[in-house]
Structure 1
């Protein structure tokens, strides 16, 4: 493979890229993916950082925001030697973002694409570093879920695992349920691809895939359409034909189809040291081939400088109103209008209703103001408060405020010559027609009441106008029928639902029942069920007779909320639920319920079950016909 400089390592910002994110000025674009876009920036002390700005589609999803906040809090606890630490974030802004330390090295995907497969010793050092990173990540309660070559960066002193936990924030949100896939098919585990089950062993399978990819230069499950790759992962054995012999024990164990047969991370490290033979594994400057190490040096040399901080913008000039009279000879204006005459619009004439504008007369006269009267204020003090409140020409004297909030400028009409000019009396006030205005107002009110009365229904004329009692009004519907009134809710506390049992909302009280079905399915036809796959450990809270909506923290479970939300699904993994999580249940039979999750059985209890509180509105909607 060529070792020529890689173009486009640092891409310039485009017109649709922000200049600043969270107070950090952006210097370049590092890349983009399914979750968002990554930018280069710097801390105030000059350290480079990578800022990942989440796509607006995810930011608009309340469930994603709730999960993203949880994952960021967990990620902040991850401080391993082989991870890029989180140093700043904003989970509540208009567009969430996450800042991590910048790693000046290519991703494993980039390195293999440009320089080919890595030698076996580099692969072993890669696997050891990733295993240590996963140990810290799992210790913080996080499963990566999307461990792939693009999320492993190659630094001069070892690998760095990035983007841990972020994929979980997007999993099963409204966006992913409509077709946006999180996770790379070629590096998914069989249980993840078939049933969506995620455990720490899922990341171990991905580690084995990464090691094989680094050693062979391609995926051991081949390329092609996603569904074809996923089928091979679930049903076929990996192609290890080009794998070096010393790496086979490690990769074969990690790629076990059964999660229980995969090694723990401590065993992964032991297998790597065993494969290294007599020479112990030590991370150092020479752990990568020279061509890959050269690309790290290239990135350091090409690193863009921090974006310059723009100079502060000058204060906007304050407009100054000038008189229609020319200034007297020798008069020199001071203040903002004199300093920047081009920046302040002027009024050629005072509004017809305004008091006359005072000009500086050349000679004293009967209307000459006292010394200092009408003199513009010093520089920096505006002579006119704003465009909405123009100066009335007497800035130095208190004057009564006009009776209206916003003066209106009428077109000037014929006036007597001299009115409004110095030396002439002010224009006479126009007579007020208050009597006519009051009379017209009364007449208009009477007419309006008469029209309103004619539009009221006959049942309200001469009556109380009261509506029927109930959750909603029972108004007349087309055809003479009345709309359905909302039923009163019934509540049931602490219902224990054993695994592979179902509930029917019409039952009073709802009792868990075991519905035998073909193929081991125990929940066909149930409004609610709790299902656990004994083989994969997959636990689902679902409905086979309706739709579910997992409410976020900002949504309160109620009949109105359940009628309004539309993020429908039929199954929700128990790993998405915490104590107090609320789920809307919309049964095809017309019943609506809010199910509040109250926990599950303990590990030492003889049976598995979940506990629910139910609030049910029976027959709240028309039943759906088959």
Structure 2
């Protein structure tokens, strides 16, 4: 059964993780990919598999283990409890109870701001979740709409504590930030210590966003938003009057001036359980039904040991079918000739056999001649080579196309020395302009590969440049912003040193980025438009320098 809200598995997705059957994809982000898993009894789990880039870092594993252990102590009606985890495998994973509902981010994107009464109930549930998280000694550090799920019986806060584990990896130590800019606290932006008050600030931004559909600190490039968070007061003009005083207190620059979660709960409700069965608008309640339609898991892959490896030694008898390779592998195979329909010594067959023998001898003679002509010590011809007055080809300057300059659609040409002669490996000299693409659309969870056809994004996160559904992260090998006053060309990207590791919070429309890939290519990306689920870019691709 195919679900309208769950993404089907791709060919390379696992069919089983830790003994749990995998039924579908739930999403992807900067930390990894999330799957819908099923226990033997049919209970649904959300299983997050951590990216290899994080899993390879010992400090991440150490902190991840600490945070998972702490998260298991969190007990609240408004969190997704941790059910299972594998902290020591090649790809660590964490399983929590699956929540049958969309994220707050999805609802805001599809339906707009929520009614005030719904926001108050939502806020009370989130405040209770934060209270339980803080009691367990955990600070969420990445509270945002995509980390709040909406179910019929109340909201659920997910992914608490994982951001702290990622904060220790080289991917973030090199300049990238963990946390979504619109929901970061000033002390988080400035790199100060994290306390529960950090989550209260994010809570205030989230409540404002749920009620208005906007961040209290506006939109734009991450640096601009973070600057406003640390230096400017929030813009609360559109916030409903019933919520504005609480939001303003939560967004105080000084952490000591923000309310505690207990004070927030007391301000929002007089009931010990603030959530009622009719807390969501009817349109959203109706949209929850497909989340209960669990897709049927695909059949399990056959065990690796049951497949037959390729035969080494004597070939199979004529007409014997070639055994299939193990799942996920492909072996080169040559067709086995079928036995002839008749056997006999007819004249036609004898003539064909003789002709074949002559052809074999001829081929052998030709091969011997070719091989002997390639021997440097044996003259292959008697015609003398006339000396050339031109310098060797490797020393001649070559014209190099450097791509369109700023403000021009035509490539410019500069003269650069050619590299020393050597085997042709298909790699262009550094600075060579390769191609340009206009108006590439990338849906969340898809990416493009510069070596391939960038106009056709592929599902998954293995491309040179990826954009994730929650609109919070871009993913590539190395990012750097191009200053507004600088030219968007190869030299600008080559000279800058302000690269941000592998993950970057989504920049605003009009931003320009330099992106280096592991294959040695340089992409210059211009953001044309961006929302929470779709990105449109222009792209120039260059051959990058050898020293990157």
TM-score calculated relative to the size of structure 1: 0.48
Counterpart residue number, 1:191: 187
1:191: Cα distance to partner?
1.1
Contact kept, 8 Å, 1:143 with 1:200, in 2: the verdict is yes
- Of 37, 41, 46, 1:45 maps to 41
Following the alignment from structure 1 to structure 2, what is the Cα–Cα distance between the partners of residues 146 and 196? 15
Query: Are residues 118 and 180 of structure 1, via their aligned partners in 2, closer, same or farther at CA, if it must alter by over 3 Å?
Result: same
Following the alignment from structure 1 to structure 2, what is the Cα–Cα distance between the partners of residues 343 and 68? 49
Contact kept, 8 Å, 1:117 with 1:216, in 2: the verdict is yes
Say yes or no: does 1:114 pair with 2:106: no
Query: Are residues 32 and 8 of structure 1, via their aligned partners in 2, closer, same or farther at CA, if it must alter by over 3 Å?
Result: farther
Say yes or no: does 1:250 pair with 2:246: yes
TM-score calculated relative to the size of structure 2: 0.55
Secondary structure in structure 2 of the residue aligned to 1:64: helix
Counterpart residue number, 2:209: 213
- Of 147, 151, 169, 2:147 maps to 151
* Correspondences of 1:341-380 after superposition (within 5 Å): 342=320
Counterpart residue number, 2:163: 167
Secondary structure in structure 1 of the residue aligned to 2:208: helix
Query: Are residues 344 and 15 of structure 1, via their aligned partners in 2, closer, same or farther at CA, if it must alter by over 3 Å?
Result: closer
Query: Are residues 54 and 8 of structure 1, via their aligned partners in 2, closer, same or farther at CA, if it must alter by over 3 Å?
Result: farther
CA RMSD of aligned residues (A): 3.0
- Of 272, 275, 284, 2:276 maps to 284
> Max radius of gyration: which structure?
1
- Of 224, 227, 235, 2:223 maps to 227
Contact kept, 8 Å, 2:125 with 2:274, in 1: the verdict is no
Indicate the larger mover: 307-316 or 234-243: 307-316
Following the alignment from structure 2 to structure 1, what is the Cα–Cα distance between the partners of residues 47 and 70? 18
Query: Are residues 94 and 227 of structure 1, via their aligned partners in 2, closer, same or farther at CA, if it must alter by over 3 Å?
Result: same
1:23: Cα distance to partner?
2.1
- Of 285, 295, 302, 1:293 maps to 285
Moved over 6 A (4+): 311-314, 316-320
Secondary structure in structure 2 of the residue aligned to 1:195: coil
1:14: Cα distance to partner?
1.9
Query: Which string of whole-angstrom CA distances, capped at 9 and with x for unpartnered residues, describes residues 323-354 of structure 1?
Result: xxxxxxxxxxxxxx9xxx95799xxxxxxxxx
* Correspondences of 1:371-410 after superposition (within 5 Å): none
Contact kept, 8 Å, 2:6 with 2:26, in 1: the verdict is yes
Contiguous gaps of at least 5 residues in structure 1:
1-6, 321-336, 346-626
* Correspondences of 1:68-147 after superposition (within 5 Å): 68-147=64-143
Query: Are residues 316 and 163 of structure 1, via their aligned partners in 2, closer, same or farther at CA, if it must alter by over 3 Å?
Result: closer
Contact kept, 8 Å, 1:20 with 1:26, in 2: the verdict is yes
Following the alignment from structure 2 to structure 1, what is the Cα–Cα distance between the partners of residues 172 and 147? 20
- Of 174, 177, 191, 2:173 maps to 177
Following the alignment from structure 1 to structure 2, what is the Cα–Cα distance between the partners of residues 114 and 318? 51
Secondary structure in structure 2 of the residue aligned to 1:95: coil
Query: Are residues 66 and 317 of structure 1, via their aligned partners in 2, closer, same or farther at CA, if it must alter by over 3 Å?
Result: closer
Contact kept, 8 Å, 1:88 with 1:99, in 2: the verdict is yes
Contact kept, 8 Å, 1:211 with 1:251, in 2: the verdict is yes
1:280: Cα distance to partner?
9.2
Following the alignment from structure 1 to structure 2, what is the Cα–Cα distance between the partners of residues 319 and 247? 69
Following the alignment from structure 1 to structure 2, what is the Cα–Cα distance between the partners of residues 64 and 136? 24
Counterpart residue number, 1:271: 267
Structure of higher RCO (CA pairs closer than 8 Å, 6+ residues apart):
2
Contact kept, 8 Å, 1:34 with 1:182, in 2: the verdict is no
Counterpart residue number, 1:22: 18
Query: Which string of whole-angstrom CA distances, capped at 9 and with x for unpartnered residues, describes residues 513-571 of structure 1?
Result: xxxxxxxxxxxxxxxxxxxxxxxxxxxxxxxxxxxxxxxxxxxxxxxxxxxxxxxxxxx
Say yes or no: does 1:308 pair with 2:299: yes
Following the alignment from structure 1 to structure 2, what is the Cα–Cα distance between the partners of residues 212 and 190? 17
Following the alignment from structure 2 to structure 1, what is the Cα–Cα distance between the partners of residues 82 and 69? 10
Following the alignment from structure 2 to structure 1, what is the Cα–Cα distance between the partners of residues 104 and 60? 28
Contact kept, 8 Å, 1:83 with 1:133, in 2: the verdict is yes
Contact kept, 8 Å, 2:5 with 2:290, in 1: the verdict is no
Secondary structure in structure 2 of the residue aligned to 1:219: coil
Query: Are residues 216 and 318 of structure 1, via their aligned partners in 2, closer, same or farther at CA, if it must alter by over 3 Å?
Result: closer
Following the alignment from structure 2 to structure 1, what is the Cα–Cα distance between the partners of residues 26 and 82? 17
Contact kept, 8 Å, 1:317 with 1:343, in 2: the verdict is no
1:271: Cα distance to partner?
1.2
Query: Which string of whole-angstrom CA distances, capped at 9 and with x for unpartnered residues, describes residues 281-317 of structure 1?
Result: 741221011111122112223x312333457789568
1:119: Cα distance to partner?
0.8
1:47: Cα distance to partner?
0.9
Contact kept, 8 Å, 2:189 with 2:226, in 1: the verdict is yes
Following the alignment from structure 2 to structure 1, what is the Cα–Cα distance between the partners of residues 199 and 32? 22
**How many residues are matched?**
320
Query: Are residues 128 and 315 of structure 1, via their aligned partners in 2, closer, same or farther at CA, if it must alter by over 3 Å?
Result: closer
Say yes or no: does 1:57 pair with 2:48: no
Secondary structure in structure 1 of the residue aligned to 2:243: helix
Following the alignment from structure 2 to structure 1, what is the Cα–Cα distance between the partners of residues 194 and 25? 32
Contact kept, 8 Å, 2:21 with 2:39, in 1: the verdict is no
Contact kept, 8 Å, 2:172 with 2:178, in 1: the verdict is yes
Following the alignment from structure 2 to structure 1, what is the Cα–Cα distance between the partners of residues 28 and 308? 42
Following the alignment from structure 2 to structure 1, what is the Cα–Cα distance between the partners of residues 172 and 140? 17
Query: Are residues 310 and 182 of structure 1, via their aligned partners in 2, closer, same or farther at CA, if it must alter by over 3 Å?
Result: same
Query: Comparing both structures, which one devotes a greater share of its residues to strand?
Result: 2
